[in-house]
Amino acid sequence: MKKTILFLFANIFIFSFFSCAQKLPVQKLTVTTQKRGQVCVLAEVAKTQAQRNRGFMERKNIPAGTGMIFVFERDQILSFWMKNTPHPLSIAYIDSTGTIRDIFDMTPFSLSSVTSTVSVRYALEVPKGWFEENGIKTGDKVSLPE
């Protein structure tokens, strides 16, 4: 009986560990900038509440040119924080037409909320500074996930 219980707990731990480490489905998004043309980012797509809650938590390495897009069911004021997130990020809040409305930098492990200034449907997180390095600004357009 004890061996069975230990085996069960070991399997739950292993499943939990690997399921947390798994990446979400990836989609190529194109940002059309006002000055530099088109820039692509490979973004993991977080559509469910559980996926959105997890985000990039505990990810130590997020390569340039990659990110995560958070998809919400309706336009709303969005607020993100960096709890348990060691990698510095930048976030773009995007409305339902694909227009970037806000871009903010975020600090690792910060519990301070970073809130959109208007109602939006999407949030795109990338390594800190990626938007600036690629000439991406508010008003630019993002191809939206399917």
Which pLDDT score, from 0 to 100, does residue 22 have? 62
DSSP sequence for 29-81: EEEE-SSS-EEEEEEEEE-SHHHHHHTTTT-----TTEEEEEEEEEEE--EE-
d(CA 41, CA 64): 9
Within-domain flag for 53: yes
pLDDT greater at residue 12 or residue 131? 131
Within-domain flag for 13: no
Amino acid identity, position 50: A
Q: With left for phi above 0 and alpha for psi between -120 and 50, is residue 17 left, alpha or beta?
A: alpha
How much is the pTM? 0.84
Within-domain flag for 7: no
pLDDT greater at residue 3 or residue 65? 65
pLDDT, one tens digit per residue, over 56-102 is 999 999 999 999 999 999 999 999 999 999 999 999 999 999 999 99
Q: Domain count for the chain, please give it.
A: 1
Within-domain flag for 130: yes
Domain range for 71 is 24-142
Q: What integer is the mean pLDDT of 121-137? A: 97
Within-domain flag for 18: no
Within-domain flag for 11: no
Within-domain flag for 78: yes
Q: CATH no. for residue 75?
A: 2.60.120.1140
